[in-house]
Amino acid sequence: MSKLVLTEIWIYPIKSLGGIRLRSAQVFEKGLKNDRRWMLIDRDNNFLTQRVHHSMALFTWSETNGQWSIHFKSDSIAFPFLTSGKQTTTHPLVKAKIWDDEVEVFEVSKEYSQWFSEKLNIDCRLVSFPEENLRPVDANYQINRENVSLADAYPFLIIGEESLADLNHRLNEPVPMNRFRPNFVFSGGDAYAEDHWKNFSIGKNKFAAVKRCARCVLTTVNQNTGEKGVEPLATLAGYRKENNKVFFGQNVLAINHTEIHEGDEITLED
């Protein structure tokens, strides 16, 4: 088997918005530092998603001298990333709904909520999910009673470059990896090798693969244009569908919490 190497690290700070590629990242129980610790909620406190609001794909990030900004078309606003994993606030906590879970979050500020409301033409608020607040991973897949951030269900998602290459050979028009919003991308191995992983390490950090990732219509939204189509989900359904679910990528939990780097070797432990 060819050497397995971590080639890309991604975080998606605000759920359903654009991602940021990093050269290294700190691993926390809930997910990589600053990954999906924020989300937009509507007036009924339900989370907003690209599945419904396709233009959410058009928010992008930039960094200048250590200050991150989020952009929408020609406008931008500075963003207050966490400098550590902990977060304290004097703001009142709000109960917000994300899928079947109810989580305690707080509004970042009226300024940010207004900015996002104007860009999306939706009355919404930007809220933050403190690191210490709980949102348990599905009990059927927990190892050490893990919690997850505002990601759909699991703290980490890994996909192999060969898996995407195999899919793209089947498509009339290839799609980039950003359709699938992984945290980790790796080179080496066969297509869909990650389906069968159990325990593995990225550099010195140990992880456990717990469940293949079931995909949804978000994969059909072009992340550069916000336009929705039918691919790649239609093609994936032709050869990656089981029990009415379409699978691509592997959901992962962290066993310990150190730091990972692009170029780290991935070691399979069983």
Tell me the DSSP string of the chain.
-PPPEEEEEEE-SBTTS--EEESEEEEETTEETTTT-EEEEETTSBBP-TTT-GGGGGEEEEEETTEEEEEETTEEEE----SSS-----SPPEEEEETTEEEEEEE--HHHHHHHHHHHTS-EEEEE--TTS--B--TTT-SS--B--SSSS-SEEEEEHHHHHHHHHHSSS---GGGS--SEEEESS-TTGGGG--EEEETTEEEEEEEEEEP-GGGGB-TTT--B-STTHHHHHHHSEETTEEEEEEEEEESS--EEETTPBEEE--
Percent of the chain with pLDDT over 70: 96
Model confidence over 34-80: pLDDT tens digits?
999 999 999 999 999 999 999 999 999 999 888 999 999 999 999 98
How many residues comprise the chain?
270
For domain 5-268, the CATH architecture is: Beta Barrel (2.40)
Q: Are 104 and 98 in contact (CB under 8 A)?
A: no
d(CA 116, CA 125) in angstroms, rounded, equals 7
Provide the greatest CA pair distance for the chain.
53
Q: Are 237 and 247 in contact (CB under 8 A)?
A: no
- The more confidently predicted of residues 65 and 162 is 162
Mean pLDDT of 122-149: 97
| Phi/psi at 139 (5° precision) | -60, -25
Q: Which two tokens stand for residue 37?
A: 């610790």
The pTM of the full predicted model, rounded to 2 decimals, is: 0.96
Model confidence over 70-109: pLDDT tens digits?
999 999 999 988 655 566 666 789 999 999 999 999 999 9
- In the prediction, which pLDDT does 106 show? 96
| Phi/psi at 15 (5° precision) | -50, 130
Residue 51: how many CA atoms within 13 Å on its side-chain side?
10
- In the prediction, which pLDDT does 87 show? 60
Residue spans of the domains in the chain: they are: 5-268
Q: Is the pLDDT of residue 198 over 70?
A: yes
Mean pLDDT of 115-120: 98
Q: Are 162 and 190 in contact (CB under 8 A)?
A: yes
